[in-house]
Structure 1
Amino acid sequence: MVVLLLMAVSASTGQAAGLIDLKLSGQGEPSTYLVWDLIKKGWDKEAGLKMTQTYFDSGMAQVEALPSKQWVIGTSQGGVPSLVAALRYGTYTVAIGDEDSFTNAVLVRPDSPIAKATGTNPKYPKTYGSADTVRGKTVLVTTISSGHYSLATWLKVLGLKEKDVVVKNMDQGQIMAAFESGVGDIAVVWEPFMFVGMSKGWKMMNEDSQMGANQINTIVVDRKFGDENPEIVAKFLKLYFRRVDTGKPESPEEIAGYIKFCKEWAGIELSQSDAALSLKWRKMYPLDQQLKFFDASKGKSEVQTWFTQLADFFVEQNKFTREEMDKALNSGFITDKFLKMAAAMK
């Protein structure tokens, strides 16, 4: 997906009424909602920060905004764009925003022959489609994203590669509009768009092909900013995990808050049932568990392993060279420094 929320501090960190300005950006999804909500509660100001958020429609759009200093800290950045950000701009990945392995959907219309092809791979009984029904079809997808990765894993389960289909690169809003008007055979979208599509009767083809994919949205930090302002990064993380700890995804209040956020901030209309699914399917991890995921004291950390698998996959798909991926993986972009600082804060 295109999986994190990007956040930003201006290059010269400004202050207003004693508060440090922190410019944030992201997408309409749960981890972005948590930050939006903590701002509404005034927690940022209690911590001496003044956070503001700007909307982006994909992780790569967020990455492309980095050189213009539109952000310096980000959450809800998908694993794929996070890797690209590290490769191109040397960013840090400092935490997991949420897990989104099952919130990137390969959708077809209800009358599609693809939906009627079952049992192709016995290891994945809830993965639909076949080589014969999918080969040559037109796919609408946001490329270099978590959705792109989900598409490729689905094709792999069916015994196909990306070269076997026709890929059309679009942002998520464009995909929704185009697919509804009859363009394309397959649409790949993440939540909340996937739930909107499913409410229209579109069928999900990859219900279990993402098992073990370990797709995550991450919190990304501009390296220069992180090196110069580690305490601000740690303070943000402390606030984020405070909100994670107090979250109750299935409560009526949380669902209502998420619906309001999607409508007012992201311009997305969600039903109560779709909002509930969105919150339920996005797994959030508390600070103590994240420290374990990032722990590299006994060798490669779990997060490093996940990104290595992701890099290997895209090399196999000829999307990046081995040299490019090795450069990113060996840059030290995955760090637990800021998590440890946040854990030490009172």
Structure 2
Amino acid sequence: MKIFRFIKYLFIAVLLCCFSVNASDSVRKLKVSLLLEHEAFLVWYGIEQGWDKEFGLDIDLSVKDVAGIDLMNDMKVNSGAWDVGGVGCVPAVIGSKGLDISYIGIGNNEATSTEILVRPDSDILRVKGANPDYPEVYGSKETIRNKTFFIRKMSSASYILSNYLELFDLAYNDVKVVDGNPSDFVNYMNDGNGDAMILWSPSTYEAQNNGYKAAATASQVDAIVPLLFIARGDFAKNNPQTLARFLAMYDKAVRIQKNDPQSLVGPYKNFLKIYSGMDYSDEFCLYDLKAHPVYTIDEQLKLFDSESNMSAIEKLERHLISRIAMISMQPDAKYDPKEYKHDPSDLFLKIAKGIVDSRK
């Protein structure tokens, strides 16, 4: 093992020594596909500021109002659909079966901005703290049983719902689950269909404006929901420096959000208007920026570090694989854990750190 680590870090050292971003570097094209949510804004903002060119990139950004599993399915249909994708941890791990991908970084944490939403007169809201270990969670075995939940299957919503039901000793066969596009859920509920829906921001804003209330957030039911940046396996092998430039550009936006989120409110409103067609309030935009913890490259490296023990990302992957039967809603199915394991690498973050440090 030591010789492999030596070779790995020798390779990293060579890359760091020969790599710098300057005017003479050739521009590297990068096809990035992201969901209509917070991390896509930070990438879009970087492009608007010209940082992609500053880092020697020519980014073709696609922002889609879908779920992460849909981006994974795009890759299954067309292996060249994107070079870098941003998806929640569930589609990244569980939805990647049969795909050659690499986890390259973390976009944010969505655990506080993903919610189980119900009508304001729902009997689910009449009971709070039925499970004393989760005093902020609404619902009980009696009020949840037989309810209809709108979710996007094989997304973080599946994971969150499985955790929520388990708090009350319930399973999927105790409720009705309807799969669909999250962008349609508010309309479904407004038409009198279903009892609950699981949404992530900014879709939660429309739901709240329509009067829907949160029965629980992902964090309140112990669902860990980081947004992972992933890359096509072949692209990652052949273009580590390009991916590092992308992560370095993202780090620049992350540091602004950490230090001065107020300055991003106006641009965030513009981004949401462009891609959703909706007007969002200043208050929501500031709240949503603060509700998405982000991580500098140094912080991400700690989460990817596996030198002394299993890294946090490896532990997350193992945890999700252990819950695959519940997440996939097929408790009796047999799964081979090895088919879902991708061995996270800190290579791209290490190169990105060299870029960032060289610019200080």
Q: Who is 1:11 aligned against?
A: none
User: Do structure 1's residue 173 and structure 2's residue 179 form an aligned pair?
Assistant: no
Query: What is the rounded CA distance, in whole Å, between the counterparts of 2:207 and 2:259 in structure 1?
Result: 22
2:177 aligned partner, one-letter code: V
Length-normalised TM-score, structure 1: 0.89
How many residues are paired up? 327
User: Do structure 1's residue 74 and structure 2's residue 85 form an aligned pair?
Assistant: yes
User: Do structure 1's residue 49 and structure 2's residue 57 form an aligned pair?
Assistant: yes
Length-normalised TM-score, structure 2: 0.85
- CA-to-partner distance for each residue in 1:155-201, whole Å, 9 max, x for gaps? 11122111111000011111121112211111111111112212222
User: Do structure 1's residue 183 and structure 2's residue 168 form an aligned pair?
Assistant: no
User: Do structure 1's residue 309 and structure 2's residue 339 form an aligned pair?
Assistant: no
Paired residue secondary structure (2:94)? helix
Paired residue secondary structure (1:89)? coil
1:328 aligned partner, one-letter code: Y
Query: What is the rounded CA distance, in whole Å, between the counterparts of 1:145 and 1:317 in structure 2?
Result: 8
- Displacement of 1:209: 5.7
Unpaired segments ≥5 residues, structure 1: 1-17
User: Do structure 1's residue 32 and structure 2's residue 44 form an aligned pair?
Assistant: no
For residues 109-258 of structure 1, the aligned pairs below 5 Å read: 109-207=119-217, 210=220, 212-248=222-258, 251-258=261-268
For residues 88-107 of structure 1, the aligned pairs below 5 Å read: 88-107=98-117
Query: What is the rounded CA distance, in whole Å, between the counterparts of 2:281 and 2:215 in structure 1?
Result: 22
1:105 aligned partner, one-letter code: E
Query: What is the rounded CA distance, in whole Å, between the counterparts of 2:260 and 2:192 in structure 1?
Result: 35
| Gap change, CA 1:250 and 1:170, over 3 Å in 2 | farther
| Gap change, CA 1:255 and 1:197, over 3 Å in 2 | same
Query: What is the rounded CA distance, in whole Å, between the counterparts of 1:250 and 1:124 in structure 2?
Result: 33
User: Do structure 1's residue 23 and structure 2's residue 23 form an aligned pair?
Assistant: no
- Structure 1 stretch 319-328 or stretch 124-133: which is displaced more? 319-328
- Displacement of 1:239: 0.8
Q: Who is 2:339 aligned against?
A: 327
Q: Between Structure 1 and Structure 2, whose CA radius of gyration is higher?
A: 2
Contact 1:116 1:129 (8 Å CA) reproduced = yes
Paired residue secondary structure (2:216)? coil
Give the root-mean-square deviation of aligned CA atoms: 2.0
- Displacement of 1:269: 3.3
Query: What is the rounded CA distance, in whole Å, between the counterparts of 2:241 and 2:31 in structure 1?
Result: 16
Q: Who is 1:339 aligned against?
A: 349
- Structure 1 stretch 61-70 or stretch 232-241: which is displaced more? 61-70
| Gap change, CA 1:60 and 1:132, over 3 Å in 2 | same
Query: What is the rounded CA distance, in whole Å, between the counterparts of 1:158 and 1:277 in structure 2?
Result: 30
- CA-to-partner distance for each residue in 1:103-138, whole Å, 9 max, x for gaps? 211111011111112231111111001111111111
Paired residue secondary structure (2:323)? helix
1:66 aligned partner, one-letter code: M
- Displacement of 1:33: 0.4
2:29 aligned partner, one-letter code: D
2:340 aligned partner, one-letter code: A
For residues 3-18 of structure 1, the aligned pairs below 5 Å read: none
User: Do structure 1's residue 64 and structure 2's residue 73 form an aligned pair?
Assistant: yes
- Displacement of 1:326: 3.0
Contact 1:124 1:209 (8 Å CA) reproduced = no
Paired residue secondary structure (2:183)? helix
Paired residue secondary structure (1:247)? helix
Query: What is the rounded CA distance, in whole Å, between the counterparts of 1:267 and 1:125 in structure 2?
Result: 37
- Structure 1 stretch 310-319 or stretch 195-204: which is displaced more? 310-319
Unpaired segments ≥5 residues, structure 2: 1-25
Query: What is the rounded CA distance, in whole Å, between the counterparts of 1:118 and 1:212 in structure 2?
Result: 17
Contact 1:92 1:220 (8 Å CA) reproduced = yes
2:196 aligned partner, one-letter code: I
Query: What is the rounded CA distance, in whole Å, between the counterparts of 2:181 and 2:303 in structure 1?
Result: 31
| Gap change, CA 1:342 and 1:252, over 3 Å in 2 | closer
- Structure 1 stretch 259-268 or stretch 164-173: which is displaced more? 259-268
Query: What is the rounded CA distance, in whole Å, between the counterparts of 2:194 and 2:71 in structure 1?
Result: 26
- CA-to-partner distance for each residue in 1:19-52, whole Å, 9 max, x for gaps? 3332222122111101000000011112221112
Contact 2:163 2:222 (8 Å CA) reproduced = no
Paired residue secondary structure (2:108)? strand
User: Do structure 1's residue 271 and structure 2's residue 295 form an aligned pair?
Assistant: no
- Structure 1 stretch 210-219 or stretch 89-98: which is displaced more? 210-219
Query: What is the rounded CA distance, in whole Å, between the counterparts of 1:170 and 1:119 in structure 2?
Result: 30
- Displacement of 1:253: 2.8
- Structure 1 stretch 24-33 or stretch 204-213: which is displaced more? 204-213
